[in-house]
Structure 1
């Protein structure tokens, strides 16, 4: 799905989210603190006898605050920021959540105990401001910054220094009105009169009312234009932020957007029970792709470098192979020189002789004036033999280079489809192949220990049959060559990089076979294509050639299905 670039996490949506979080988390105790990604913090808060994962994101593109049920993989070594958060907030009680006017700034107020046992009051500020987003821990009594997830010095911002020890200053206040505290509506009435066009009215309302994104201001303008009851319609609009109906909607250009309630001019796609569930659904794929790109930057660079190197090598090899097509010319010239040696004398640079291979037509042959007639003839025979020997070598090298290109295109496809936790296996594979240096500096004991490969992703077909999908080469190899029973069914896209898929049944139904083929097509380089060819055969027909790279197999006795994969079909099969 395509998501909107005009997302609605504005001040008004922040107002709704504050209410939701306060109702669930207030008086809760912080039990865990993790930083799974550089700009994101997860606080596990025990509230009302349940553990809640509070996601605080200062991601430049996806900054937000929400509860989340999406599992995260934490780094083996916590960051300095995480350690400071744990030192000050572990065991802390959340006393309140405040919003700065109707701005995209939330303040999480905590009471805690310091190392001496004295009670402390702390404020965790989350500023949702695109690339300026930040998470800042502040001592409430002194208003001094304890730490920030992004340090901002005076060389970047003279007005606000966000460094440990600096005094915390709120973001600059704008000359706009908080819609939830608005009492007079004369200015709005004037705007309606001055700007009867909804689009123009929306732009001008946005300049006067705080916390309105483009889509929210347009929705408000539609409400205001409904009739002459300006105050009633204004309050009716903003009252819905206090009683939200979390909605995923279809908007223009086949894009999806999230809102606290259905906006005019959009087509309702799906309604969720909470704003947090709405955001989990909306951000799941896009935020994950961004995290993979961020965490897998080194892997992506290695793969791109290898692809560029091998594609350049393949061009050169093909060029050299084309040159060998002229090998017979050198043989003919050598034989003609041998026949007419008596006509050649040392010191000649060239000679024209009858070509008895072509009706005795004249053939010009270059000579070296430093060689004897016989040596000139032998020179052409040597060139011929060298090129003939090169044909076999070049053909082998071309095949090996094509295999390398296929391999790295496959890895590239796997990274595009990977979850953050899948990158660990891909990194390990590249290290094993000596394409990437092992930065972990394992000692001998750790090296001797066999590394555990992540489990393949599990799905369930309509009739309850388990389907397993490998997400990278190491998972593919483990799944096909070690986990699967020889009588089970194996699927893979035909001549297209993709996942190995196993149906855990000896006699799968036609429906299960089609659903498994859908997974094979979706988890391949052709996921956005139609009529993708997917081969299937029994596992007993799968073989791995000696010396082949991880995940590479050959097979026979296959049949082929043609599948057009969709995200909706895959979602239905998820466990």
Structure 2
């Protein structure tokens, strides 16, 4: 399984990068556990993103990555120097597994150098290649990657494939053990590409280079040059339904394998490494599960050992208690006489009595094995068993003490056995994968392509008609001037601080319910909600009644409009419902009138104006929806759709 890009991969990749993101402007930069995500703004095309994983890869990405809330220090350093700068060059120095990106700011230039070999690195340099900071400081015999040092390429391990001559080709591989190893090591191209060259040249890969003819070398040289000019035909190669490698064009060595074709090598790389990430995530998950299993098994063994230990102690305590009860008179006599002697003669008198042979002792002392004065204990030898008694209490109290000990141990055993069953269930759940195990790795998912209307506030009515409303002055103006059509309806809450709202009409007749829902949607997202009002008036008009022309002597602010003719008023209630709309296997959070949301979502949370901070309200709604939906929600997603200001759950 291929885990990093070859020099040839890099060449084809950056050919596409130069077409896709050259002259783009750098936005935010993230470090996601060592994977760097660059958000770029391409003039005339919008946002594109690419990733760099030092030691492994660089390519455009369509995947949605989980970005950290607080970027690590190196990502912040990159933002400081590169954000709002222009990407003007993308190069592969000396056909190495290195990519050099040049960014130009207003007054200075920077080089970002991605080393995609070994452990990898990312080095930020100034325009003179003086290192501002490396991602990882490294020192070798021949070069240093440290702040303040001049950046130097690593020592060359082989000839440059893109510039090698036929004569040099023969010179560098002629002394190798065999052809494939000579190509792989002396040209630093790796085994798979070396094998592909041998295949295309129709030469045995194990052949001794000394046995090659001049014609063979000419053919090899020609094939190498053709490889560099090969028409892209990107594909992921599969073996046993699992991705084996990703290649920029068809390899003769792999033509019998199953493959998935892509329209660009960058897209193929993106999907391939997503699968690799998935595999690594699954492996990490398996390791985490195995680790948890071992911990649970260890806990289970300890719990079983405890039960066994406590059962033995409980049995012993019960046996002692029964023996004391059975020999009650005898034990009581021993205790009374021992305490009498101790009171009359002290412990010395007791010890003198116990020094005598058992046959010579008084009757009360014959069963005593030993005394422990400092603990107030004596050991007796009763039939088949030795017991320890507290000489400060009676025979009955001693028996009760052991019975109580047995009772407490039995309670512990019951609790431990219940814990054992719980542990067994956890172990079974792990085996059946019903327990979710979190790992430090994550799997990027393909980014969902957003619809044009998601730039605005939006819902679908119960009649399945789209309603959009502006989020700010810019989108308010767009709603009216770009997206309002003659067959639509315009809505506006009769209060200062309300968005322009449009119901997009694709039916001949708009139902009264859809009309009310659009009006209520306009009200929900107005300042009326923030002011905590219960009801508000909303009017609707036809698009031809909305104009930018102000009466003589009056002035309309930016985004302001005049309404001509009759306004149709509705009084609506300020309450809303949050739900999840299913679209293309994705559940999107939506917020609007209950009749509209209930039509499109089985899971809902009802809200109204209140005093709970909007961010706290969003967190509570998130938890409520996640309890019932098989989708993790983001608080920011909910903040985008909720009405302005605080609220409360009804």
Aligned to 2:232: 244
Aligned to 1:184: 166
Q: Kindly state the Cα deviation for residue 219 of structure 1 after the two structures are TM-superposed.
A: 2.1
Aligned to 2:628: 483
Q: Distance in 1 between matches of 2:100 and 2:621?
A: 43
Paired residues of 1:188 and 1:205 also in contact (CA < 8 A) = no
What are the within-5 Å matches in structure 2 for residues 161-560 of structure 1? 161-174=144-157, 176-184=158-166, 187-188=169-170, 200-210=178-188, 212-226=189-203, 230-232=217-219, 234-236=221-223, 239-242=226-229, 243-251=231-239, 256-266=244-254, 267-287=257-277, 310-311=299-300, 314-323=303-312, 326=315, 328-338=318-328, 345-346=364-365, 348-349=367-368, 363-368=383-388, 371=391, 375=395, 379=398, 382-400=401-419, 403=422, 413-416=436-439, 419=442, 460=585, 478=624, 483=628
3-state SS of paired residue (2:307): helix
Deviations 1:181-212 (A, max 9, x none): 233168559968986xxxx42112212213x1
Q: Distance in 1 between matches of 2:52 and 2:621?
A: 32
Q: Distance in 2 between matches of 1:457 and 1:293?
A: 31
Q: Distance in 1 between matches of 2:147 and 2:414?
A: 63
Aligned to 2:123: 136
Paired residues of 1:330 and 1:381 also in contact (CA < 8 A) = no
Alignment coverage as a number of residue pairs? 410
Q: Distance in 2 between matches of 1:305 and 1:348?
A: 50
Paired residues of 1:206 and 1:217 also in contact (CA < 8 A) = yes
Q: Distance in 2 between matches of 1:150 and 1:143?
A: 17
Q: Distance in 2 between matches of 1:421 and 1:457?
A: 21
Higher relative CO (CA 8 A, sep ≥ 6), structure 1 or 2?
Answer: 1
Paired residues of 2:112 and 2:122 also in contact (CA < 8 A) = yes
Paired residues of 2:234 and 2:265 also in contact (CA < 8 A) = yes
Deviations 1:343-377 (A, max 9, x none): 973452479xxxxxxxxxx95121448859963x7
Paired residues of 1:189 and 1:230 also in contact (CA < 8 A) = no
Q: Distance in 1 between matches of 2:240 and 2:203?
A: 22
Deviations 1:303-335 (A, max 9, x none): 799858855752453333442562553454334
- TM-score for both structures, normalised by structure 2: 0.52
Structure 1: tracts of 5 or more residues without a match: 352-361, 423-454, 469-473, 485-499, 503-575
Q: Distance in 2 between matches of 1:127 and 1:254?
A: 28
Aligned to 2:533: none
Paired residues of 1:69 and 1:280 also in contact (CA < 8 A) = yes
In the superposition, relative to structure 1, how do residues 459 and 393 fare at CA in structure 2: closer, same or farther (>3 Å)? farther
Q: Distance in 2 between matches of 1:194 and 1:164?
A: 39
Paired residues of 2:125 and 2:132 also in contact (CA < 8 A) = yes
1:57 aligned to which of 43, 53, 56: 53
Q: Distance in 1 between matches of 2:423 and 2:621?
A: 19
3-state SS of paired residue (2:95): coil
Deviations 1:387-417 (A, max 9, x none): 2332223322443475478669689742159
3-state SS of paired residue (1:181): coil
Paired residues of 1:68 and 1:277 also in contact (CA < 8 A) = yes
2:89 aligned to which of 83, 86, 96: 96
Q: Kindly state the Cα deviation for residue 39 of structure 1 after the two structures are TM-superposed.
A: 4.9
In the superposition, relative to structure 1, how do residues 322 and 285 fare at CA in structure 2: closer, same or farther (>3 Å)? farther
Aligned to 1:555: none
Q: Kindly state the Cα deviation for residue 65 of structure 1 after the two structures are TM-superposed.
A: 0.5
In the superposition, relative to structure 1, how do residues 168 and 8 fare at CA in structure 2: closer, same or farther (>3 Å)? closer
Q: Distance in 1 between matches of 2:201 and 2:403?
A: 87
Aligned to 2:142: 159
Aligned to 2:511: none
Q: Distance in 1 between matches of 2:291 and 2:624?
A: 24
Q: Kindly state the Cα deviation for residue 378 of structure 1 after the two structures are TM-superposed.
A: 5.5
Paired residues of 2:176 and 2:182 also in contact (CA < 8 A) = no
Q: Distance in 1 between matches of 2:583 and 2:407?
A: 52
Q: Distance in 2 between matches of 1:290 and 1:233?
A: 38
3-state SS of paired residue (2:404): helix
Deviations 1:519-572 (A, max 9, x none): xxxxxxxxxxxxxxxxxxxxxxxxxxxxxxxxxxxxxxxxxxxxxxxxxxxxxx
Q: Larger Cα Rg: Structure 1 or Structure 2?
A: 2
Q: Kindly state the Cα deviation for residue 89 of structure 1 after the two structures are TM-superposed.
A: 1.8
Q: Kindly state the Cα deviation for residue 382 of structure 1 after the two structures are TM-superposed.
A: 3.1
Q: Kindly state the Cα deviation for residue 67 of structure 1 after the two structures are TM-superposed.
A: 0.5
Q: Distance in 2 between matches of 1:307 and 1:169?
A: 52
Paired residues of 2:143 and 2:152 also in contact (CA < 8 A) = yes
Q: Kindly state the Cα deviation for residue 72 of structure 1 after the two structures are TM-superposed.
A: 2.1
Aligned to 2:461: none
- TM-score for both structures, normalised by structure 1: 0.58
Q: Distance in 2 between matches of 1:189 and 1:165?
A: 39
Q: Distance in 2 between matches of 1:382 and 1:171?
A: 80
In the superposition, relative to structure 1, how do residues 420 and 270 fare at CA in structure 2: closer, same or farther (>3 Å)? closer
3-state SS of paired residue (1:414): coil
